[in-house]
Chains A and B, each alone.
Chain A
Amino acid sequence: MRKPENIRLLQQAIACFDDAQAYKQLFLLFYPSLVPFAISIIRSKELAEEIVSDVFIKIWEKRNQLDKVENLSYYLFTAVKNKCLNQLHNQQNRAGININDTTMEFKSLYHDPEQKLISAEMISQIQQAIQELPPRCRLIFKLVKEEGLKYKEVAELLQVSVKTVENQMSLAFKKIGTAINFKIHHLSHVFSKN
């Protein structure tokens, strides 16, 4: 998960100092997840990139008020979603949000070498479990874990019930947890042989 306090600092730097460098950092921080999210709604890479760029142009234009945005992650995802839906509406092509076949990729998991409890091998196991999650489940898991959104925010963003988010999160944890469990048992089995 991104550190919310870092995002807050960037917001303040942009709002108070018109800090172009902070603006760039903010863009780089969110671009890799906002574009796939937009693609999952609008089904066009070109349009998706344009929409994310438009949202960030608005951010710069209204930068003086940026400090007042409580949860920037949620704000950005919502803004991108709304722009995508407007676009679809204009195209007379109202499919609504259908994220079941989302193309959203999950960033590779970070392995902290100092973290002894989790081995690199375990990480790759977990990674695989995440890739095998149903697309909608993966997206919800990503929005909660990577973007730090609350269940309620994810539900509003994706226009589903909080219960659905809860269920999908349970499913994600079950799949990943089972992968880890297998690893633990497998290891202890190997050790007991020696």
Chain B
Amino acid sequence: MAKGGALPKGFERPSDSGSQEKYEVKPSSKTITLRISKFNPEKDDHSTFLEFTVPYEKWTTVLDTILEVKSHQDHSIGVRYSCRQATCGSCGMIINGKPRLACFTKISELDSNVVTVEPMNNFPIIRDLAVGFERMFSTHKRMKPYIIREDSEISSGTKEFLQSPEDVEKYIQFASCIKCGLCNSACPTMAADSTFIGPQGLAQAYRYVADNRDKGKDERLRIIDERHGIWGCHFAGSCSQVCPKGVDPAMGIQLLRGYLLGYRK
């Protein structure tokens, strides 16, 4: 930045400007009330909300505010996070009533002075905002999330499996899943049916069924064609609405049904 030039809003030039220029962030005057759900299944009967006043800037995410509280106000808050860039899928939670990634949701976009964070629905609570992913991961594994075929790209005498852009287009959207669990959290069928495969698993089943390199279509269709499988979906579409990666599991489920009803091959 040119010396003496205009600074972005929120920054100020230090008064003792020496040979090394340092720019500091002004403490924000804007604050929100952050309500965090506290629940320890080993001790508590029900969850309670703790309220904290937290400063924020226009770039502050919900995860930033939670970590601010955890660092300076209440170290006991249980929260899972890792990459902070909507890639690892660790920080899914209910923010102001909607399942979202905390690292991908800015306070400023919520248009509210009160931000309430709760653990995701349809998952067992480990503590506070951290939930258990065991069931989702085991369902994901059950869908055989890998290319099934006898030959291999890496064995000698074989060559790379080629795909046209049109072939890739059929499944690439579904390959963006980061297993954050927001779709399962938003699913009304999952709330009622504890054994339902769920939108995450079904979308992943579609991802591999639609991949023309894969030869495990019949195997996967058999897995999802069960009492608590694909037919449990009522097409509420909330899974697609909350997906932070634009996967659209509801569409994947409808496309999978096409294979089972015989109008897709």
A and B interact physically: no
